[in-house]
Each structure stands twice: as structure tokens, then as C-alpha cells.
């Protein structure tokens, strides 16, 4: 054999070296040193999310450095696996429920359960893996460097420069090897004989109106509208609490379901010595399978008659016998509508409407009760 070459590799993610190593490649007598295939096997770990930058480089016997890098997207997962579920998964208003939480032992978890209508009015407020992994990357976004005048005689095409590969990944180098590819000047016609003074003066004349136009656009840009929070009568937040997970890695949180008929969207994230964890969004649907709804006008005139309707909904899996009876009161009179019975058989996923003719006799707010 002719010899061997060490191929070194670095796996970086979010500015941190996650894995590194080297492979010794044997070069045969009839094989060029700078050609060949090398296979690397890397274990994908949560620290590589969301993108892993793989750098492979080698130092040839001629003291020349060759390098190349590529980016590989990975699945956005966390070291701390968090799971959450309601028991039972569906509930009725006022029912007792249990939130079962599973995470790494010793985790401190933040719980929140918000009405689904809040997410409809204010979309994009939910916490997800994309926002978590974007936070450290967003802090590195700085304004790009501005040049007064670009160098007009540099190479026009991209070159496989090892120094540029290391510099792109943000790595510092300390070596006595030759890692820079020399830049050769290319003849570009009459521009090759143009002096720096002429080029700078022409660029100054062409760009003299640029800053004023940029300032005019910046001043004309409207201010962002203020954030307005819409408040409703029903509670928007049900759970907002911190829960400690013991050494068993699980915790049960007893809860009482609110009276609101809605869907509660529950978010849970946990912090532990092993790392951060975020549970998938869990929904708890609160629904009343059997209820009555009254249809009333906003206001009426004393002595005016109108039709009072009571609609019974049955979302049970069986048929039931329903009897509707309005409460008597001295503030109004009720007369059953002809050919309408007060009792009926109501089957599954059905509804029935009962009607009476109502005539108020007093002024003010009237309370109407139907059982």
C-alpha cells in the first residue's frame, strides 16, 4: 500500500459541536490520494435538531487541506419526552377529571389550558417545536456588513476553498498548513484597466440618491397596530399552574371541569437536568349530551303575545322519553300551542321543539324557567 490518510469529521448544531471523530483511510498504490469514497456512521441525537452541519476535512501528505460541509435537516425532538392525557378524554360540565403527566424524573412542568376560541381569535400564539428551535437561531440574525466599494477583480465563480468552509461554520483555525486557495485575477475587458478612483467616483454618483430614498420609505412605513385582547363573559383560561414530577416520572393532577361547553387546548412543557421537553397539544372536549335550549326575543311590549320555544337535544346513544314543563308565574301567562304535546320520545341524535304562547303582564326583567 501507498499509505493512509486520516479523514476527520465534525457534527455541529446551533453553534455547538455535537459529535466528532476520524476515520483512517488506506490509499492503494494505483489510487489517487484526493479521490475515493468514505462512509461515516453518525447517531442522530436530539441535540442535532433542527439542522446538523457536517464538516469533513483531511490533511494530505502534501500538507494540503481539503474540506467540505453540508447541512442535513433532522426531526425536531427533545431530550425530555413529555406526555399528557386527560382521564376521561371527554367530559361534561362540572365533572371531576384527572390530568396524567409523564416526563423525566425531577422535571418542573408548566401547564396551561385555554379555551379554543382564544386560539381562533389570536392564531399563532401556541407553543410548538418550530418556535422553540427558532429562538436561539433568531438571536444570531444580525445586520449584514456593508461595503463602501466591492473589489472588482475577484473571482466570479465559487471555489472549493477549505478556509471558506471553516469560516462559514464559525470555526477558529490555528495551523501552519496551507488551507487557502489562491485567488487568480481574471481579465474583464476594459474594466481591468479601470483605476480605483474612477470606479469609486462612478459608484458615488450612482448611489448618491440611495440613502434619501431609503429614509423616505422608512419614514412612510406605518406603525404596527396595537395588540387588542378580546374579553368574553366565559373564562378563557382554565389551567395555569406549575407541577413537579417526582422520581417516578409521572404525576396526576385532579381537576374540576368548568361549566363552559367548549374544547380546552392544553399545553405542557417541562424543564429537567436532562433538558427541555414539550408535549403535543391535547384537547379536552366538554359537551352536554342532553340539554334544553330556550328561544326568546330580546324584548317585548306588555300585552304583546309571542311564541316561546323550548328545544330539547339528545346526543345520547339511546332513545329517551322527554317531558317538558314550564314553571308557573304571576308575571306572565302561558298557553300551550294547539296539537303540541308536552311529552315525546326523543331518539339518539335527535331534537324536539315544544311551543307555548306567552303574554307578559308586568314591566321589567322576566325570569322564565322550563324543566
Instruction: List pLDDT tens digits, range 289-314.
Output: 877 788 888 888 877 888 888 888 88
In order, the DSSP letters of 206-238 are HTTTHHHHHHHHHHHSPPPPPP-PPP-SS-SEE
Read off the pLDDT band of 215 (50, 70, 90).
very low
Give the residue-averaged pLDDT of 234-248: 87
| pTM for this predicted structure | 0.57
Helix (H) or strand (E) holding 286: strand 282-286
Chain-centre distance for alpha carbon 134: 10
* Cell 303574554 sits on residue: 359
Question: Would the pLDDT of 231 be above 60?
Answer: no
Instruction: List pLDDT tens digits, range 86-102.
Output: 988 888 888 899 999 99
Instruction: List pLDDT tens digits, range 12-23.
Output: 888 888 888 888
Question: Would the pLDDT of 271 be above 90?
Answer: yes
- Which pLDDT score, from 0 to 100, does residue 165 have? 80
Q: What mean pLDDT value characterizes the chain? A: 76
Which domains are seen in the chain, by residue range?
3-73 (2.60.40.1930), 83-137+232-286 (2.20.130.20), 290-360 (2.60.40.10)
Q: Which of 183, 182, 181, 184 is nearest to 66 (CA)?
A: 181
Q: Tell me the CA distances in angstroms from 280 to 78, 128, 203, one per residue in order.
A: 12, 8, 55
* φ, ψ dihedrals at 232, nearest 5°: -120, 170
Pairing mode of beta strands 90-91, 282-286: parallel
Contact 273, 106 (CB under 8 A): yes
* Cell 311551543 sits on residue: 355
Q: Which of 289, 245, 240 is nearest to 264 (CA)?
A: 240
Contact 369, 326 (CB under 8 A): yes
Pairing mode of beta strands 282-286, 306-314: unpaired
Distance CA 190, CA 200 (A): 16
Give the residue-averaged pLDDT of 238-244: 92
Read off the pLDDT band of 145 (50, 70, 90).
low
Amino acid at each position: 500500500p501507498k499509505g493512509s490518510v486520516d479523514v476527520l469529521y465534525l457534527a455541529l448544531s446551533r453553534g455547538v459541536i455535537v459529535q466528532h471523530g476520524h476515520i483512517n483511510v488506506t490509499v492503494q498504490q494505483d489510487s489517487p490520494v484526493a479521490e475515493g469514497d468514505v462512509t461515516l456512521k453518525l447517531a442522530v441525537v436530539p441535540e442535532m435538531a433542527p439542522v446538523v452541519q457536517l464538516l469533513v476535512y483531511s490533511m494530505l501528505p502534501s500538507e494540503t487541506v481539503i474540506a467540505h460541509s453540508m447541512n442535513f435537516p433532522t426531526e425536531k425532538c427533545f431530550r425530555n419526552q413529555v406526555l399528557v392525557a386527560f382521564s376521561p378524554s371527554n367530559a361534561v360540565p362540572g365533572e371531576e377529571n384527572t390530568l396524567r403527566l409523564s416526563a423525566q424524573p425531577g422535571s418542573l412542568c408548566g401547564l396551561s389550558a385555554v379555551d379554543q376560541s382564544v386560539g381562533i381569535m389570536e392564531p399563532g400564539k401556541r407553543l410548538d417545536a418550530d418556535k422553540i428551535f427558532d429562538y436561539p437561531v433568531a438571536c444570531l440574525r444580525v445586520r449584514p456588513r456593508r461595503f463602501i466599494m466591492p473589489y472588482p477583480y475577484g473571482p466570479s465563480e465559487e471555489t472549493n476553498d477549505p478556509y471558506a468552509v471553516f469560516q462559514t461554520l464559525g470555526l477558529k483555525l490555528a495551523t501552519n498548513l496551507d488551507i487557502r486557495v489562491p485567488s487568480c485575477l481574471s481579465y474583464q475587458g476594459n474594466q481591468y484597466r479601470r483605476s480605483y478612483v474612477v470606479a469609486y467616483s462612478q459608484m458615488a454618483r450612482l448611489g448618491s440618491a440611495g440613502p434619501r430614498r431609503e429614509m423616505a420609505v422608512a419614514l412612510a412605513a406605518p406603525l404596527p397596530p396595537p395588540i387588542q385582547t378580546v374579553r368574553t363573559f366565559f373564562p378563557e383560561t382554565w389551567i395555569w399552574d406549575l407541577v413537579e414530577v417526582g422520581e417516578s416520572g409521572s404525576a396526576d393532577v385532579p381537576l374540576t371541569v368548568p361549566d363552559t361547553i367548549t374544547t380546552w387546548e392544553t399545553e405542557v412543557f417541562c424543564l429537567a437536568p436532562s433538558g427541555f421537553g414539550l408535549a403535543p397539544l391535547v384537547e379536552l372536549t366538554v359537551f352536554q349530551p342532553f340539554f334544553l335550549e330556550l328561544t326568546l326575543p330580546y324584548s317585548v311590549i306588555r300585552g304583546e303575545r309571542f311564541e316561546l320555544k323550548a328545544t330539547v337535544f339528545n346526543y345520547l346513544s339511546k332513545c329517551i322519553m322527554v317531558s317538558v314543563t314550564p314553571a308557573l308565574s304571576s308575571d306572565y301567562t302561558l298557553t300551550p300551542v294547539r296539537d303540541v304535546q308536552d311529552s315525546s320520545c326523543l331518539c339518539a341524535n335527535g331534537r324536539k321543539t315544544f311551543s307555548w304562547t306567552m303574554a307578559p303582564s308586568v314591566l321589567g326583567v322576566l325570569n322564565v324557567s322550563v324543566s
